[in-house]
Amino acid sequence: MRPPVPGRVKTRLARDLGDEAACDLYRAMVADCIANVRGAGFPLFLFHDGPDAGGLPPEWRAAADRTFSQEGDSLGERMDAAFQRSFASGAKGVILTGSDIPGIDAGLLHSAQGAMNEHDVVFSPAHDGGYCLVASRNCRYHNGMFQGIPWSTSAVLETTIAVCSAQGLSYDLLEPRQDIDTMNDLADYCRRPSGSAPTTNAWLVARGLLDPLRG
C-alpha cells in the first residue's frame, strides 16, 4: 500500500474526482479493509511503499501486527516477497489482498482460510480480469504462479491459472470482488456496494455517488 498522499494514490480516479477526493476515498477503502481483517480475527501485516512506515497514518500502523517495506521491482516480485516475509515471520498460511477492495469481508477471508487447506493456491477474482486476493499455506506455496504474468492486463487471472495448471498446482476460485481503480469500477461498485464497507459507503453517499438506500 502507498501512504495516502494526494496526487500519489488513485491517480486514475483523481482525473475525475480530483487529487484530494481520490485520496480521501483511498483512506476510506483502506480503513474498511483493515477493519474487516481485524474483525475476522486474523493478524494483519501491512506491506507499504517506501523505506519506512512513517508515512502511513498512525491508526493504520496501530492496527497492524507488523509493517514491512515492499520488496521487488514487479508486482509479482512484491507479492512473492510478501509471502516469503510473512512465512519467515511465523505465518503458516497467508491471505494477500490489495488495499482498494472494500468488498474484502470476513466471510471471504474465512473462505480463503478454509480453501487453502485443500488447495495449493486460492484466488478471489476481480471483475477486471485480475484477482483481488491470493492465499496459500507455507507447505503448499510455489512462487512460480507470479512468474510470466502480464500484470495490469485483463489476462492476469487467466494466465495465472494456466501457469498453476502447467506447474501441477491445484487452485480454487472464491466469489469475485470489485477493485476500484477507475470511474467505471466505482460505478460498478456503487451498483453492488458491499455491506461490509461502511466507511467507503458513507464517503460515497456524502459525495452523492451512492444511493443512501444502497449504502
What is the rounded distance in angstroms from the CA atom of residue 44 to the CA atom of residue 37? Answer: 7
User: pLDDT tens digit string along 31-77?
Assistant: 999 999 999 999 999 999 988 888 999 999 999 999 999 999 999 99
Spatial separation of the C-alpha atoms in residues 160 and 144, rounded to whole Å: 9
What crossing angle do the helices spanning 19-39 and 198-206 adopt, rounded to 10°?
150
156: domain CATH number is 3.90.550.10
When pLDDT is cut at 50, 70 and 90, the band that residue 99 belongs to is confident
In a domain, 141, yes or no: yes
Query: What is the predicted pLDDT for the residue at 3?
Result: 94
Q: Do the domain assignments include residue 6?
A: no
Average pLDDT value for the chain: 95
Yes or no: say if 215 and 186 are a contact pair by the CB < 8 Å rule. Answer: no
Domain tally, the chain:
1
Amino acid at site 40? A
User: Does a structural domain hold residue 22?
Assistant: yes
State the amino acid at position 174 in one-letter form: L
* Angle in degrees, CA 117, 118, 123, rounded to 5: 85
- Domain assignment present for residue 181? The answer is yes
* pTM (two decimals): 0.94
Q: Confidence class of residue 215 from pLDDT cuts 50, 70 and 90?
A: low
CA distance 200 to 103: 10
Tell me the pairing of strands 66-69 and 93-97. Answer: unpaired
Kindly state whether residue 211 falls inside one of the protein's structural domains.
no
What confidence category does residue 7 fall into, taking pLDDT thresholds of 50, 70 and 90?
very high
Q: Which domain holds residue 130?
A: 11-206
Instruction: Report if residue 4 sits inside a domain.
Output: no
Q: What is the mean pLDDT of residues 144-161?
A: 95
117 touches 139 (CB < 8 A) = no
Residue range 158-181: mean pLDDT, rounded:
95
Q: Flag whether 215 is in a domain.
A: no
Answer yes or no: is pLDDT of 19 > 80: yes
CA distance 79 to 86: 11
Q: Does 136 fall in a domain?
A: yes
